[in-house]
Chain A
Amino acid sequence: MNSQILEKVEASGVCGIKKAELKKIFGTDCDSSLDKLAKEEKIIVDNKGIAHYVWSREHYLSHISQNDPKFKIISKQVQNLENSVNQIRSDMTKTPSAGPNIDFQSSFDVCMSEHSSSLGWVPFSSIRQKLCESLGVSPEKFYSLASSLVESNQKYEVSTGGQEGIHVRGMLHGYVRKL
């Protein structure tokens, strides 16, 4: 009976269905089924005017967004917030914003000073190993960030060779140092 009641409630859409009507269809015994479905949050029972109405969860949300001004305002604000979070998240995956870039640069510099040889050259692979672990970034992401850092900042110098690194003038540059 529960599934039949749920089907009927869902079919009633945003308008919902009167509780009395459900009793007419399924008999007065349907009270316990309605209670159970309400506890499982599959249906919502609320007043509309003076009558008790029953909605499915999704339809109830649409109903109050259209009819309750307070809910309407809060819902819009939540939606904006959600959009902003999504935008920031997509910005972070596409082009890193200033924040994470600064973090990357400082971690990169610290790591470079730790691994530096007497001439200052450090294999990119050593920095990559450490930063991918500590910052939780993929090797591809690391090299994308490292590449833009080195390209935009003339304080870094890269040198050819090594097994991995960044490509400049079509050549693999596996070593870096800070001037």
Chain B
Amino acid sequence: MTYPYGLKSNPYPSSPTPTEHDAKILGGTKHQGAKAAIMECILDLYKKTSRRNSTENDFRLITVVQDVGSGKTHLALHIKTLKTRQDIVTTYVDMSTISPRTNESIYNAIMHGFSKELFSELKGKLLGQICEKAQKGDALAKKALGYGFVDKLKGVTLKQKADDLLYDKTHVSPYALHDYLAANHNQHEQVIIRNILGNSFDKITNLDEIHGRLAAMAKFSHNLLGKVILFEMDEFDAQEGSLDFVKSLINAHIPASVLLLITTPSLYLDVQKANPSVFDRLEKANYKIDLAGANSVDELIEIAIEYIRDSDKTERFNKKEQHDLAAKVRVLCDEFPEFRNVRSIINILNHAVEKASDLGAQEISETVIDETIKQTYPGLKIKGSIMDVPISDFIKIKRESGTTQNQVREAVSNLVNYVHEMGNVSKSSKPNPSFDVVYSDPFGTKIGITIVMDANHTKNFETISNAVKSSAFVDKLVILTNTSIPASSHATIVLVDKSKVIDLLYFNSKYTEHKIEEPESEKVKMLAKTICVI
């Protein structure tokens, strides 16, 4: 199967919410900026704690507040999956998947949010630590490893015993471990070590245990692995369970850890109403990541391009093709608010790439987009269009329309030609320099049309004022303009908005190519009526 731009697979994810795999690519200036800010916070904390024991001052709070579909979860998962940075361990918790929202259920979700590799790494380090002590003659450490007289006779080394435990060839005896842990660690650390070595987690019964165990996790990650912990809590809301848990976690100041809360503006303001105390803490966050403009057209274009660029191994997706795709995405976003959102634009591009592959297209062409929209958004139409302009033509017209005034002039002239051919009006064979088009209606009324469509509205006022002075030469003067002016007794003013321009330009291209068929004839007449030609 071939994909456009010489791609081997579809670079755009298709799931309604991002997965860790999808989140490996992060595009867009705003999103990259947000990532940089979060990484700066982590790096700063890492630097401060790398050469000393961490304290309760080594806790940071970050909030990410933005609307649904703007890429917050994507950002959080992207940071979780970063392989290049070795100084963080991340646990990602989706609060919306936890019910009922109790301290225990949230704690369990946090522990499950850590990767298996982290626990394997910690297990190795902890056993290494015990082994080291045992080698120095610590009897409790030897006992913890289950090293006895028989092992000594057999010539089994302490390192071998530790390795057997590490690779689960033998299991740690809780009784043997108890004395060693009691002599070297506090009660919460003891539980965590037992859990790590035993590959299972004890239930918690109170808040103190939660904070103690999370602090133990943070301490081991920091002291043994040299990493700070990042707690990512997505879909944070104003439910009592969430608020109580987060408040306690902020108050606990888990050393060498960062709490990243992800929510929407609506839920953020709900927190303000539900629990001012938590809200006040959030307002004082060390970093408030604002993804302002995350759904802006420029950002969406950058994200759209980044996906292809990342997958493009042949470098076929060159500057020109990037520019072309950017222009198409811009037209889509400008016209349809439906697509002005990271999730929506990624979704439509995922379908477009598949459609391009089906059609054998080498790029995401206008036709591909048209077919994709027909299939995935069948109800989507150009707003206000009388001519039912297909989206592919709409994108072409929007991209190519430069000097609109001249194009509209030509289109209106051809529209009068068309209604003349249809027998609705009689076009004058002699052009009149005062007007763009002159013709007569069936009752003999002489009508002159002047088109005033400059981008400079002040200039348009002047042109209209001059045009009105010529009204005496015809029985009726029609002025087509993009400038909003009051009605005049001397002329009929027709405001030509964006959709009328598109209709006119679409008609003109069909007319010049002699492609207007019978069913469209009625639409053309309707168009002529709306701009007062007939």
Residues of A within 8 A of B272 (CB): 117
Alpha-carbon gap, A91 to B485, bound state (A): 10
Least CB distance, B280 to chain A, in whole angstroms: 11
Q: Contacts A83-B487, A160-B67 known; A119 to B268 CB distance under 8 Å?
A: yes
Q: Contacts A119-B290, A151-B337, A179-B293 known; A161 to B267 CB distance under 8 Å?
A: yes
Contact A175 B269 (CB under 8 A): yes
The residue among A151, A169, A173, A174 with the most chain B CB atoms within 10 A of its own CB is: A169
Least CB distance, B289 to chain A, in whole angstroms: 10
**Residue ID in chain B nearest A172 by CB atoms:** B266
Contact B489 A154 (CB under 8 A): no
Contact A154 B296 (CB under 8 A): yes
What 0/1 readout, one digit per residue, does chain A (145-175) give for beta carbons within 8 Å of chain B?
0000001001001111110000011010111
Q: Contacts A154-B297, A157-B295 known; A84 to B265 CB distance under 8 Å?
A: no
Least CB distance, A96 to chain B, in whole angstroms: 9
Q: Contacts A121-B269, A151-B337, A169-B338 known; A157 to B292 CB distance under 8 Å?
A: yes
Residues of A within 8 A of B292 (CB): 120, 157, 177, 179
Residues of A within 8 A of B344 (CB): 169
Residues of B within 8 A of A88 (CB): 486-487
Residues of A within 8 A of B66 (CB): 159
**Residue ID in chain A nearest B290 by CB atoms:** A119
Contact A161 B486 (CB under 8 A): no
Contact A87 B487 (CB under 8 A): yes
Contact of A168 among B267, B337, B484 (CB under 8 A): B337
Interface flag for B65 (CB, 8 Å): yes
Least CB distance, B294 to chain A, in whole angstroms: 9
Interface flag for A80 (CB, 8 Å): yes
**Residue ID in chain B nearest A167 by CB atoms:** B337
Residues of A within 8 A of B265 (CB): 119, 121, 159, 161, 175, 177
Least CB distance, B67 to chain A, in whole angstroms: 4
Contact B264 A118 (CB under 8 A): no
Residues of B within 8 A of A161 (CB): 264-267
Contact A160 B489 (CB under 8 A): no
Interface flag for A98 (CB, 8 Å): yes
Interface flag for A16 (CB, 8 Å): no
Contact B269 A123 (CB under 8 A): yes
Residues of A within 8 A of B500 (CB): none
A-B contacts counted at CB < 8 A amount to 70
What 0/1 readout, one digit per residue, does chain B (297-331) give for beta carbons within 8 Å of chain A?
10000000000000000000000000000000000
265-279 of chain B: CB within 8 A of chain A: 265-269, 272
Residues of B within 8 A of A83 (CB): 487, 489
What 0/1 readout, one digit per residue, does chain B (411-439) give for beta carbons within 8 Å of chain A?
00000000000000000000000000000
Interface flag for B534 (CB, 8 Å): no
What 0/1 readout, one digit per residue, does chain A (85-126) give for beta carbons within 8 Å of chain B?
001100100000110000000000000000001111101000
Contact B297 A119 (CB under 8 A): no
Count of interface residues, chain B, beta-carbon cutoff 8 Å:
29
Interface flag for B522 (CB, 8 Å): no
Least CB distance, A72 to chain B, in whole angstroms: 16
Residues of A within 8 A of B340 (CB): 168
Alpha-carbon gap, A32 to B372, bound state (A): 86
**Residue ID in chain B nearest A161 by CB atoms:** B266
Q: Contacts A159-B67, A160-B68 known; A84 to B264 CB distance under 8 Å?
A: no
Contact A119 B65 (CB under 8 A): yes
Q: Contacts A159-B67, A159-B264, A161-B264 known; A80 to B295 CB distance under 8 Å?
A: no
Alpha-carbon gap, A140 to B283, bound state (A): 34
Interface flag for B508 (CB, 8 Å): no
The residue among B292, B341, B487 with the most chain A CB atoms within 10 A of its own CB is: B487
What 0/1 readout, one digit per residue, does chain A (42-67) give for beta carbons within 8 Å of chain B?
00000000000000000000000000
Q: Contacts A119-B65, A151-B337, A154-B297 known; A160 to B487 CB distance under 8 Å?
A: no
Interface flag for B381 (CB, 8 Å): no
71-112 of chain B: CB within 8 A of chain A: none
Q: Contacts A157-B292, A168-B337, A169-B341 known; A84 to B489 CB distance under 8 Å?
A: yes
Alpha-carbon gap, A160 to B297, bound state (A): 18
Q: Contacts A151-B337, A169-B344, A175-B266 known; A157 to B486 CB distance under 8 Å?
A: no
* 5 interchain pairs, CB-CB under 8 A: A88-B486, A98-B484, A120-B292, A160-B68, A169-B337
Closest 9 CB pairs of A and B: A161-B266, A87-B487, A159-B67, A121-B265, A80-B489, A159-B265, A169-B338, A175-B265, A168-B337
A interface residues (Cβ-Cβ under 8 A, vs B): 80, 83-84, 87-88, 91, 97-98, 117-121, 123, 151, 154, 157-162, 168-169, 171, 173-175, 177, 179
Given known contacts A88-B487, A118-B288, what 20 new A-B pairs fall within 8 Å (CB)? A84-B488, A91-B486, A117-B272, A121-B265, A123-B269, A157-B292, A157-B295, A159-B66, A159-B67, A159-B264, A159-B265, A160-B266, A161-B267, A168-B338, A169-B337, A169-B341, A171-B68, A173-B67, A177-B292, A179-B292
B interface residues (Cβ-Cβ under 8 A, vs A): 65-68, 264-269, 272, 283, 288, 290, 292-293, 295-297, 337-338, 340-341, 344, 484, 486-489
